[in-house]
Structure 1
Amino acid sequence: MVVQSSWYNFSDQDSQGYEVLSNKYPRGVPMVLDFAFRDGSCPYAGGPVRPGYRCVNGNSSCVNATSAEGYFCKCWEHYDGNPYIPNGCQADINECELRKQNPHLQNDYPCDGVCKNRLGGYDCPCKPGMKGDGIKGTCTEKFPLAAKVVVGIAAMIVVLVLMVMVHQLLKFRRFYEQNGGPVLNGVKNIRIYTRKQIKQMTNNYRRVVGEGHFGKVYLGTLKDKKQVAIKKSIKVDTHMKKEFTDEVIIQSTMRHKNIVMLIGCCLELDVPMLVYEFVARGNLYDVLFKCRDKILVGTRLRIAVGSAEGLTYMHSAGESTVRHGDVKSANILLDEKFTPKVSDFGTSKLLVRGKTEMTEHVIGDMSYIDPVYMEQGIVTQKSDVYGFGVVLIELITRRPATYDAERSYVANFVEACLAKRARNFIDNDVTSEADIDLLEMVSRVAVDCLKPNPEERQDMKQVEHRLLEIVAQSEDHSQERDYKGDFSPAPDDVALFKGLGE
């Protein structure tokens, strides 16, 4: 028996004959034959092929014999067939299937990854998440455990951030809808700003230009460099919040030189923010009582007339009338030229023309509130007339309005006017007899605004007309002085000259 020597080991049983070996190895034994053609050797590369050369298959190669001179033909690696006939080595070996069907061949076709057959061989890329060479058995994980932990934590952070962002967006959307965004988005003259835009306009809420119990007012700048005032309330009553949409619509229709213009609003907050035109000098209250600069009587008259014109427009504009509800000097703003602008419509309400409104909640500054409104809860436009009468007292006396149970601030002034002692209350800075006469006339207008019975009060149109008549008398008096050539200094000027001389 001829057998491969490296495979066979002799035993005593083998000496008993062929039948013992047949029973011992029923499937036969591997055998190696040294087969070769002895009529020459393989031609050298690029050399001529001699007649009778037998390796004619395109997918085969010539191999020189090792035991003696000669050669034999062999199909290329990964090809199978007969190398001695034309096109005999054509069948591609599926190494992956061989590995699967014959585990003992896995060492012949190693693959520590994903086996993929191809023509003329096979590939073995590493499994997903690993790197290296699967055939050489060098596949290792791309990310070590520490890297996986870091990536996992980072992924969790990203997910949490995304969840927070989505939550914020949903919250902003909810605020937008609760604050009437779908309705206000189509309102003329009003622009809807996002939180991001408001933050950019205010430079992250850097400069506060006003602050009080209502909240804060920030200075903002639009893209065209125009300055605006952005009002942010501390809180808003649930009942008033429901009416916010109506309030903005009211303000959007108010376009008058003596009314602060509402430019837009931000609805992506629990408490909406309002964007107004910026009025440089601030409010009348601060100008009167926090700054002791002299205010000419002519300037005071212009402030009174302009404020009256703004309130008259508010009361008469549109099909429905509007009352302000919180008329006071702090809600009258002044620009660089002392032009007044009525502001803060936070308590304004639509009223059907000619009707009154009952309310259980008294809203506004107690020093300016109509007693009827406070005691009976009856709100009319005459309530604004009363508040304006208190503002006139402040312009005349330059003393801030105060509140007590007897309403002595108003009562004392009215009593003095009825007793023709109004000049005792006039601001001491006013010394010209002509100016004092003008302020006495304004005092009579204020008294009519402050009558206890709302029905006896004049409306804002009538108040405006009377103030205009006083302004006209002031101008006539000024022209008369110029015509007569009265160049003698007025008492105010004498005091000024003395001050300069000292």
Structure 2
Amino acid sequence: MEKVMFHLYLLPLLLLAFFSPFYVYSMESGTSQCSNVSIPYPFGIVGGNPAPAQGFEIICALSGSGPFIRINNSIFGIINISLLDGFVSILASATSQQCKSNSSFSLEGTNFTFSDTENKFTAVGCDMVAMLLDDSRGYIGGCASFCSTKSNIINGACSGVACCQAPVPKGLKKLELEFTSIIGQQSRPNKENSTPGPGCGEAFIVEKNSYVFSRVDLNKTNTKNPQYRPVVLEWSIDGGYCEEAKRAASYACKENSYCYNSSNGIGYRCNCTLGFQGNPYLQGPNGCQDIDECAVKSPCTHKCINTKGSFSCTCPAGMTGDGLKGGSGCNGVGLLVIATVSGLALLLLLLILSFWTHWLVKKRKVAKIKQRYFMQNGGMVLKQKMSGQSAPLRIFNSSELDRSTSKFSDENIVGRGGFGVVYRGVLSNQMVVAIKKAQRVDQNQMEQFINELVILSQVNHKNVVQLLGCCLETEVPLLVYEFITNGALFHHLHNTSVQISWEDRLRIAVETASALAYLHLATKEPIIHRDVKSSNILLDENFTAKVSDFGASRPIPHNQTHVTTLVQGTLGYMDPEYFGTSQLTEKSDVYSFGVVLIELLTREKPIADDEEDGKRNLALHFSMLFDQNQLLQIVDSQVAEEAGMKHVETVAKLALRCLRLKGEERPKMIEVAIELDALLRLMKQHAVLQSEEGPLLGESSCHANMNIETSSSLSLDGITKEESMETILLPFRDLSC
């Protein structure tokens, strides 16, 4: 019955709206006006421009009635539309009466919901409970109202006595009510002429703060006339939440706007981003446009600069601050402060220029010094001589070697000798090298030094430490060699108690002799090492011998047998013939190697302290004991045990041949290398026979089946053997086990 009365009441308005000319007053493109109510897009007046979005059609009549909105076949008067907040206020009778058939008010299928923040659920009556129900008749909200005495009923109060209020549930789209009397009996519909009073009440949704309770309202709870009150609806754009809507072609938010999800149901709304204003649902000049903060009301104390979506304030010269009227503004710092700051800035600039000039002058000076040293140390001569080589010697710059050795820190020193100091360095490619800081080179012999450097760069033998490059930008030349990790043979023989097998000692002797023979025969010009000693024989991680330190080395032209030089070498190893004549030959290296061979046999130093004689020369002492048949007094017990005295005597004889006073009576280095290699091979074959045939058989036939050949361990690439193998190996024919 209530719905019928409601429709009859609105019938004249509908007829007026449909049969009267439309009255559309356009305020601006995208916004219309009807009876002093602004109609912003997506709302719009039917027949107006732009056309309203679906579900947001507004009816406006020329007679001045309206505006109206159609919601689910019902028409409601519009009080206000808020674009920013997403609200539309309407006049509606969202009411249900206890004494009449329960009615429902539905917004389902529309873009609207009851606002949970702008409305209140209100019930008027005595001794009743008004309940909001969902579609499944479940309780979702409500309140209770009591009436004990009339004196307790106060006008304007709605706190549970004759009037109660409760929040509207979020997302409510349908008003369905049920009343229950306070004694627990569910209310039943009465006849239409029932009188109001206890047990008869009404409940409705109304805009908060718009309804004020009055005691006379208790007599209207059963009125036949509908009560129209302000109700706030929250609207949103249909199409799901923002994340889903952005993927759709119908996405409503235009440029300079952002999307946010409706907090009261499914859907979304749009708003202009900060610094912009306008209608976020429209494109172009009617949409979100930049706010010119400077033109409207400048927020700056001095100069205001408008930017897209924002603004900035600037202060005049000599003043500081944020320039905002509501901030620190612009504060003067004074001419004295400006002058002080300017003076300090100028002083700082002068200091920077001074330091930069000093650095530039120093850099140029260092560059000139490096260039002078490079020329002084024969750098241009070296470049010319190596220009035609396929793999020229690398020329390092001093800065790289400084970095690799921490500026030649004493912590990186790995050796000292008569011809320089050796440092450990790590290059930029993480390669570990040995850097030798040579002694000053005599300028009169510079070309000879460069020639020797070129020759050494061409030495390629597995038992010779490889020269990688040099640096000539320093006062003394720097030579860069491969780094050998296990130290010198001298250290292993004399400074440790670590056992070195006879086989390893003999192999080290073979490798050293092979390297020296290579230097004497296989290079373009024979190279005399001139300082062969155990401290110049390095051992790598596999105990492979590497001949090093060519600081005293000299090449001998092929058409000469010797060169005359200043005497250089190490006491105990130096060739006495060279010492007396100053004539350096390849036999000088043979003599020094003989001393090394005795070191390997005895583990004694070349010059040792003797309690009776003071200093004792190892070579002379060994020769004397050999003549007296007393080798056991000096030979290392480990060698005597592992090699046997006959093998020891064989090596001792070879060493003494190397130590003969006249160089012409000494064997050549190639002969020494081949004899030692043959002995090493003989020893290995003897060990194999002993293991296969037993000690007795091996003892009797160890030489009968021997084929003495050079081993693969002997590297003599490029050597022309001047004596036949028969002649060289003649001393081994009568060798017994």
TM-score exceeds 0.5 = yes
Aligned mates of 2:644, 2:485 — CA distance in 1: 27
Aligned mates of 1:321, 1:211 — CA distance in 2: 27
Partner of 1:265: 470
Aligned mates of 2:630, 2:443 — CA distance in 1: 47
Aligned mates of 1:405, 1:466 — CA distance in 2: 35
Q: 1:406 to 1:375 in 2, by over 3 A?
A: farther
Partner of 2:396: 193
Query: What do the CA deviations read for 1:243-271 (whole angstroms, capped 9, x no partner)?
Result: 33122112111100110001111111111
- Say if 2:412 is the partner of 1:208: yes
Equivalent positions of 1:59-78 (< 5 A) are none
CA contact (8 A) 2:425 2:434 kept: yes
Aligned mates of 1:221, 1:406 — CA distance in 2: 41
The secondary structure found in structure 1 opposite 2:395 is strand
Partner of 2:510: 305
Partner of 2:482: 277
Q: 1:345 to 1:245 in 2, by over 3 A?
A: same
Q: Which amino acid aligns with 1:479?
A: V
CA contact (8 A) 1:362 1:377 kept: yes
The structure whose Rg is larger is: 2
What TM-score, normalized to structure 1?
0.64
Counting strand residues as a fraction of each chain, which structure ranks higher?
Answer: 2
Aligned mates of 2:643, 2:615 — CA distance in 1: 33
| Stretches of structure 2 lacking an aligned partner (at least 5 in a row) | 1-316, 319-334, 697-737
Partner of 1:106: none
CA contact (8 A) 2:519 2:528 kept: yes
1:476 to 676, 685, 688: 685
Aligned mates of 2:408, 2:358 — CA distance in 1: 28
- Say if 2:446 is the partner of 1:219: no
- Say if 2:649 is the partner of 1:440: yes
Aligned mates of 2:667, 2:625 — CA distance in 1: 20
2:562 to 341, 356, 381: 356
Aligned mates of 1:280, 1:483 — CA distance in 2: 37
Aligned mates of 1:448, 1:171 — CA distance in 2: 52
Aligned mates of 1:158, 1:226 — CA distance in 2: 35
Deviation at 1:220, TM superposition (A): 2.5
Deviation at 1:341, TM superposition (A): 0.9
Query: What do the CA deviations read for 1:372-402 (whole angstroms, capped 9, x no partner)?
Result: 2112211111111111111111111000111
2:496 to 288, 291, 305: 291
Aligned mates of 1:287, 1:385 — CA distance in 2: 22
1:426 to 630, 635, 640: 635
Query: What do the CA deviations read for 1:460-494 (whole angstroms, capped 9, x no partner)?
Result: 0111111112112211221221123349xxxxxxx
Q: What do you get for the CA RMSD once the two structures are aligned?
A: 2.8
The secondary structure found in structure 1 opposite 2:541 is coil
Counting helix residues as a fraction of each chain, which structure ranks higher?
Answer: 1
- Say if 2:355 is the partner of 1:182: no
Partner of 1:120: none
CA contact (8 A) 1:332 1:340 kept: yes
Aligned mates of 2:370, 2:535 — CA distance in 1: 32
Which has the higher mean CA deviation after the structures are superposed, 322-331 or 201-210?
201-210
Aligned length: 350
1:245 to 445, 450, 454: 450
- Say if 2:523 is the partner of 1:325: no
Deviation at 1:184, TM superposition (A): 2.9
Deviation at 1:307, TM superposition (A): 0.1
Query: What do the CA deviations read for 1:66-110 (whole angstroms, capped 9, x no partner)?
Result: xxxxxxxxxxxxxxxxxxxxxxxxxxxxxxxxxxxxxxxxxxxxx
Query: What do the CA deviations read for 1:297-318 (whole angstroms, capped 9, x no partner)?
Result: 0000000000000000000123
Query: What do the CA deviations read for 1:410-456 (whole angstroms, capped 9, x no partner)?
Result: 11211222343333321123342644332221111110101001111
CA contact (8 A) 2:412 2:425 kept: no
Which has the higher mean CA deviation after the structures are superposed, 384-393 or 426-435?
426-435
CA contact (8 A) 1:189 1:263 kept: no
Partner of 1:383: 588
Q: 1:146 to 1:483 in 2, by over 3 A?
A: closer
| Stretches of structure 1 lacking an aligned partner (at least 5 in a row) | 1-130, 133-137, 488-502
The secondary structure found in structure 2 opposite 1:231 is strand
2:661 to 426, 448, 452: 452
Q: Which amino acid aligns with 1:212?
A: R
1:465 to 674, 687, 709: 674
CA contact (8 A) 1:247 1:345 kept: no
The secondary structure found in structure 2 opposite 1:243 is helix
Which has the higher mean CA deviation after the structures are superposed, 181-190 or 268-277?
181-190
1:158 to 356, 379, 382: 356
CA contact (8 A) 2:493 2:603 kept: yes
Which has the higher mean CA deviation after the structures are superposed, 403-412 or 279-288?
403-412
CA contact (8 A) 1:231 1:275 kept: yes
Aligned mates of 1:189, 1:427 — CA distance in 2: 45
What TM-score, normalized to structure 2?
0.44
Aligned mates of 2:509, 2:458 — CA distance in 1: 23
Aligned mates of 1:461, 1:285 — CA distance in 2: 23
Aligned mates of 1:430, 1:168 — CA distance in 2: 57
